[in-house]
Amino acid sequence: MVQSSILGFPRMGVNRDLKKANESYWAGKLSQKELLDEGKRLRLAHWKIQKDAGIDVIPSNDFSFYDHVLDHIQLFGAIPEKYSKYKLDPIDEFFAMGRGRQVPQTDSESAVDVPALEMVKWFDSNYHYVKPTFQDGQQFKLSSNPKPVAEFLEAKEAGIITRPVIVGPVTFLALGKADRDQNVVPISLLHSLLPLYEDLLAKLKEAGAESVQIDEPCLVYDLPAKVKNAFKPAYDRLSSLGSRAPELTVATYFGDIVHNKDVLSTFQKLHGVHVDLVRNPEQLDTVLEGLGPNQVLSAGVVDGRNIWKTNFKKAIEKVELAVQKLGKDRVIVASSSSLLHTPHTLESEKNLEGEVRDWFSFAVEKAKELTIIAKAMTAGPASVREELEANAKSMESRASSKRTNDPKVKDRQQKIQESDFNRKSPFPTRIAQQQEKLNLPMFPTTTIGSFPQTKEIRLQRNKFTKGEITADEYEKFIEKEIQDVVKIQEELDLDVYVHGEPERNDMVQYFGERLTGYVFTTHAWVQSYGSRCVRPPIIVGDISRPAPMTVKESKYAASISKKPMKGMLTGPITCLRWSYPRDDIHQSIQAQQLALALRDEVVDLESAGVFVIQVDEPALREGLPLRAGTEREEYIKWAVESFRLSTAGVNDSTQIHSHFCYSEFQDFFEAIAALDADVLSIENSKSDAKLLRVFVDSKYPRHIGPGVYDIHSPRIPSEQEIKDRIQEMLNYLSPDQLWIDPDCGLKTRQWKETKAALVNMVNAAKFYRQKY
Ligand code: GLN
Ligand code: ZN
């Protein structure tokens, strides 16, 4: 028979229960036992959901209190000394690595002060993992009570036989790095890590595990030879364990493995291979050819990264191809990746209209989908006729819905011309006109957009959402906030003001709520990192802008300001990336629709007297396809074009800014330059100023504001520190090119430190203004 399987289930629980438990524990309001019990309760609840849905292969060890890579760091004893030296309880040591730990000295305990390990994005998702950090001469040691074994036994006790999930040795090492000042090449540690995998697998077998999922998603990358060559020794060794270990299924996801197909042959003695057939259905043929004679294919046909109902017909067709070649017993129907990236259940959504609700499927619903597809394969389509018919109807409703298709939008896209992507004149002409209009001093100072989102702001927004205050009252409140920040910026003597974004709940949701084509959920949270969750809006149809979105606030702000006011928008790629995109049309089309809507907004801002407009694109870099090649080149092309389309409608004298909060722009520099923004602000304060060398090397002609201080911390940078930083920047950038600004928006900060930091920043800028 064709079995069904899930690669991982969301951890947070139906009401973000894990977030609440963790945060209460961190605040000292929950005991360690209560926290651990809550973890256990969630695991059991999630296994039971999958079991009740009829899933055959249910994962364990997919749960984590913070992050599953961090779990493995602890599992293998790869804990840097700066944490282990405190001899904390395992769970506290775990959190210390995940989020840092700072506790003052008490009578009984000495002070602890360690920052977190580095956290980075998990492949091209918005989930962040904790980066393994290795030492020269790194030793590993399997923890005394290995989590995968403990959780397998916990499920077994509840009568559920699970398939433990572990991160494979090559991926674990490849995702790691040498600690600061260390030279170790992580993959060279393979030989000392493998004995622990052997030991762990033997222990799982002893505990009764018949099968283990071993994740090697790094196979979807272009791998350096050293990493690629590590697969053979690793898997020769693990497959020689025979009956001493459970059966192993190697899982890859978020991309194809065709470029690494020779590695497939090193897996041939293993039980099975999982591939993502949602993202890359075309890899099926190659993978089928590369399987060993008895190997099982786990076919990932239910999207683990999105919220759309699975198209059963298409999924079944795909699985059918595999079944024809391998037979029913050698095919498993699976989620494309872990369901970690999908919200918990659609059941929680009480406000979704019936029409669109019928198009969605969250984790709980996807579990059900998998069992239906498996049943259709095993017992024939007639066995699930009703479900298939309902699904076909739902697909049809979505494809033909008025909400999905807006001929006016399509028509406008058809009419886009080459000239729409280009500003009227080249930069030298533009900047001269801008300078005449704006009259800015050298080293102009500005901020990135948001000012502290105070309790009061959130309170009033909440009241307004609940209907406790009228739109008029809310508008008055926002105007008062804007007046306050304008006054503060006057006092600080900044050069280009912002209105502070008090009206915005979130930089994407705010725009989504004002655009046609979007819908919103109330409970569809997904983990972003640790206890932090996001609730991305959903793009359901063609996007258009029924009315101006930000003009009222920006116009008001400009009208009460003596200096230039900067309008503030979220760019098309960031709107796309931080939403759930449609899966029925290419993302480039959605980006273009967003760009057209934003273009109108940009032009309207200009007509309203806002002559500096910033279009934020912090997600531009993360959208970059994982592998070099056509897809990546195409992405750069359409992403850049979307930005240009959204900004090129203005006059030469209007200054376009853009902002990025990441510093890894070296390999991406051409794309950033191609945006043709008059001024760029980038995160830079935590990086080496040497990174700015790319601007020199490429003779970048336009203006740049590399962040002069870190906004993630309440720490106030001194004036001298900022001056030093500017001095370093001047090694790479010319004085008439340099803007002075913080790393990012200030919404998460308090006013006290914000003002103090900005006073120092403005003084530092004035110092250089005098000097040059
Ligand atoms: N304008 C936004 C702000 O200041 C930018 C946020 C971001 O780049 N993440 O908050
Ligand atoms: Zn930013």
| Binding site membership of 568 for ligand 1 (Cβ less than 6 Å) | yes
| Binding site membership of 616 for ligand 1 (Cβ less than 6 Å) | yes
Which atom of ligand 1 lies closest to the CA of 661? 8
- Give how far Cα 623 sits from Cα of 305, 429, 527, Å: 14, 32, 18
> Is there a binding annotation on residue 77?
no
- Nearest-CA residue for ligand 1 atom 3 is 745
pLDDT on residue 59: 98
- Nearest-CA residue for ligand 1 atom 5 is 745
- Give how far Cα 18 sits from Cα of 21, 42, 88, 122, 590, Å: 5, 8, 22, 20, 34
CA-only gyration radius of the chain, Å: 27
| Binding site membership of 653 for ligand 1 (Cβ less than 6 Å) | no
Pocket mutation for ligand 1, best pick of 121, 446, 450, 506 (most atoms within 8 Å of C-beta): 450
Segment 11-34 mean pLDDT: 97
Sign of the dihedral through C-alpha 311, 314, 318, 321: positive
Segment 717-731 mean pLDDT: 96
Segment 205-233 mean pLDDT: 98
| Residues catalogued as catalytic | 712
What share of the chain has pLDDT > 90, as a percent? 93
| Binding site membership of 449 for ligand 1 (Cβ less than 6 Å) | yes
Segment 331-337 mean pLDDT: 98
Residue type, position 309, single letter: K
Segment 75-83 mean pLDDT: 97
406 has a pLDDT exceeding 80: yes
Rounded CA-CA distance 587/36 in Å is 41
Which atom of ligand 1 lies closest to the CA of 449? 4
| Binding site membership of 450 for ligand 1 (Cβ less than 6 Å) | yes
Å from CA of 569 to ligand 1 middle: 9
pLDDT tens readout for residues 512-523: 999 999 999 999
| Binding site membership of 682 for ligand 1 (Cβ less than 6 Å) | no
pLDDT on residue 688: 82
Segment 653-658 mean pLDDT: 98
Taking alpha carbons only, the member of 695, 648, 698 closest to residue 675 is 648
Q: Indicate the pLDDT class of residue 687, thresholds 50, 70 and 90.
A: confident
662 has a pLDDT exceeding 80: no
Q: HSE-up of 383 (CA within 13 Å, CB side)?
A: 10
Which atom of ligand 1 lies closest to the CA of 450? 4
Q: Which of 116-120, 406-410, 486-490, 737-741 has the lowest mean pLDDT?
A: 116-120
- Nearest-CA residue for ligand 1 atom 10 is 745
Ligand nearest to the Cα of 743, by number? 2
Map 25-54 to HEC letters. Answer: HHCCCCCHHHHHHHHHHHHHHHHHHHHHHC
108 has a pLDDT exceeding 90: no
ipTM rounded to 2 decimals:
0.99
| Binding site membership of 502 for ligand 1 (Cβ less than 6 Å) | no
> Is there a binding annotation on residue 126?
yes
Q: Indicate the pLDDT class of residue 110, thresholds 50, 70 and 90.
A: confident
470 has a pLDDT exceeding 80: yes
Taking alpha carbons only, the member of 686, 760, 663 closest to residue 716 is 760
> Is there a binding annotation on residue 616?
yes
> Is there a binding annotation on residue 575?
no
Which atom of ligand 1 lies closest to the CA of 660? 8
pLDDT tens readout for residues 220-258: 999 999 999 999 999 999 999 999 999 999 999 999 999
| Binding site membership of 387 for ligand 1 (Cβ less than 6 Å) | no
pLDDT on residue 336: 98
Rounded CA-CA distance 731/738 in Å is 11
- Evaluate whether 683 touches 662 at the Cβ level (below 8 Å): yes
pLDDT on residue 668: 86
258-632-529 Cα angle (round to 5): 90
Å from CA of 551 to ligand 2 middle: 21
User: Helix or strand or coil: residue 541?
Assistant: strand
pLDDT tens readout for residues 530-588: 999 999 999 999 999 999 999 999 999 999 999 999 999 999 999 999 999 999 999 99
Rounded CA-CA distance 371/377 in Å is 10
49 has a pLDDT exceeding 90: yes
- Evaluate whether 725 touches 685 at the Cβ level (below 8 Å): yes
pLDDT on residue 691: 86
113 has a pLDDT exceeding 90: no
Pocket mutation for ligand 1, best pick of 568, 659, 684 (most atoms within 8 Å of C-beta): 659
| Binding site membership of 744 for ligand 1 (Cβ less than 6 Å) | yes
pLDDT on residue 106: 84
Segment 436-452 mean pLDDT: 98
434 has a pLDDT exceeding 90: yes
Q: What pTM did the predictor assign?
A: 0.93
pLDDT tens readout for residues 596-653: 999 999 999 999 999 999 999 999 998 999 999 999 999 999 999 999 999 999 999 9
What share of the chain has pLDDT > 70, as a percent? 100
Rounded CA-CA distance 710/716 in Å is 9
Å from CA of 122 to ligand 1 middle: 22
- Nearest-CA residue for ligand 1 atom 1 is 449
Q: Indicate the pLDDT class of residue 115, thresholds 50, 70 and 90.
A: confident
Q: Indicate the pLDDT class of residue 84, thresholds 50, 70 and 90.
A: very high
pLDDT on residue 665: 79
Taking alpha carbons only, the member of 260, 318, 315, 320 closest to residue 290 is 260
Mean pLDDT (the chain) is: 96
Å from CA of 689 to ligand 2 middle: 18
